[in-house]
A = this chain, B = another copy of it.
Amino acid sequence: MPSLLPNWNDGAGRTAILRFVARVNEAGSPDFLPPEERIATFDNDGTLWCEQPLQVQFFFGRDQLKKLADADPSLKLRQPYKAFLEHDIAIIKQEGKQGFFEVAAATHAGMTNDEFHLQACAWLAGAKNPLVNRRFIDLVYRPQLELMEFLQKNDFRIFIVSGGGVDLIRAFSEEVYAVPRSQVVGSSVKTRMETRDGKVDLLKLPELQSFDDREAKVQNIALHIGRRPVLAFGNSDGDLAMLQYALSGDGPRLGLLLHHDDAEREFAYDREFAVSPLAEALDRRDDLGITLISMKNDWRSIFPDEGSTFP
């Protein structure tokens, strides 16, 4: 195996990445980028970890909702809670990604940020993907862990920019991705500050603050990062605006799009995945200068070995 990106097969994708990093490293060249300009943004669901049969956020929300429904059984009869509880994918797909994020958010209302964090960590430590019976956090993509490490070694600052809830991702971003919590951008709910016994906490409210998808990804990149990324990596139409934003800047740019075309080792889907389709970005990739990464051809392995010790 080659020493750089060993789980990336030799091919156009790996070559594009290595050439891009070589370009920005070339001292004295007009393409050289100082470290502060080396901003890379990665989508999370479907780009850094498995999003089938549904995004992990859904399972977390459902499990939280189950607890609430034990206390208030009337929830079991009301949509969209009913669909969540019964794991009715058809209805959930109808509600769309934002719909299910809102339901999930509602299940966390009244919790402090610190309480949420502890619950998310506890849940992630055990929760499994029902299709493959492995923990969600073991279904991160090994080639992407390698890529992020490689970029960090080359002075890139990596940000995760996800439609998923920012605080759920922050519960594992440091241990699993080596990305600081402050470099995670995601969907969020409003909060209210409360002082109890002289202690200041933030309570989560059942009200959406930002659903971080499509154009909102670009707006939130500007808000959180304050700089146009030079590299963006996504896997769905929800990432297209972010890819275009990165590619619209001057100087060296790299836009990468992961294509789930590996039914044998992971899943094969694109246009038909209602919750988060890949269609427009697939059609426009050549015009926009986006490099397509084939999971099947470009990746030597998909998942890390069993036995990770998170948290």
Contact = CB atoms under 8 A, between A and B. Distances in A.
- Identify the interface centre among A188, A222, A226: most chain B CB within 10 Å of its CB: A226
A166 B218 contact: no
Nearest to A196: B248
How many copies of this chain?
2
A226 B201 CA distance: 13
A181 B226 contact: yes
A92 interface: no
A166 to B, nearest CB: 7
A157 interface: yes
Contact of A200 (B166, B225, B227, B241): B241
Interface in A141-192: 157, 159, 166-167, 170, 174, 180-184, 188, 190-191
Contacts of A200: 218, 241, 244-245, 248
B224 A182 contact: yes
A170 B244 contact: no
B227 A182 contact: yes
Contacts of A174: 36
Nearest to A159: B182
B183 A182 contact: yes
Contacts of A198: 248
Contacts of A195: 244
Given A244-B200, A248-B201, A36 B180 contact: yes
A52 interface: no
- Identify the interface centre among A113, A188, A222: most chain B CB within 10 Å of its CB: A222
Interface string A276-309: 0000000000000000000000000000000000
Contacts of A228: 114
A226 B193 contact: no
Contacts of A219: 190-191, 193, 202
Nearest to A198: B248
Given A182-B183, A248-B199, A226 B170 contact: yes
Contacts of A131: none
A199 B244 CA distance: 7
Interface string A2-35: 0000000000000000000000000000000000
A203 to B, nearest CB: 11
A218 B194 CA distance: 11
A157 B181 CA distance: 12
15 contacts: A36-B174, A113-B222, A157-B182, A166-B223, A170-B226, A181-B225, A181-B226, A182-B183, A184-B226, A188-B223, A193-B218, A198-B248, A199-B248, A200-B248, A224-B224
Closest 3 CB pairs of A and B: A181-B226, A199-B248, A193-B215
Given A36-B174, A157-B182, 13 more contacts: A36-B180, A39-B182, A157-B180, A170-B226, A182-B225, A191-B219, A193-B219, A193-B241, A198-B248, A199-B248, A200-B218, A200-B245, A209-B223
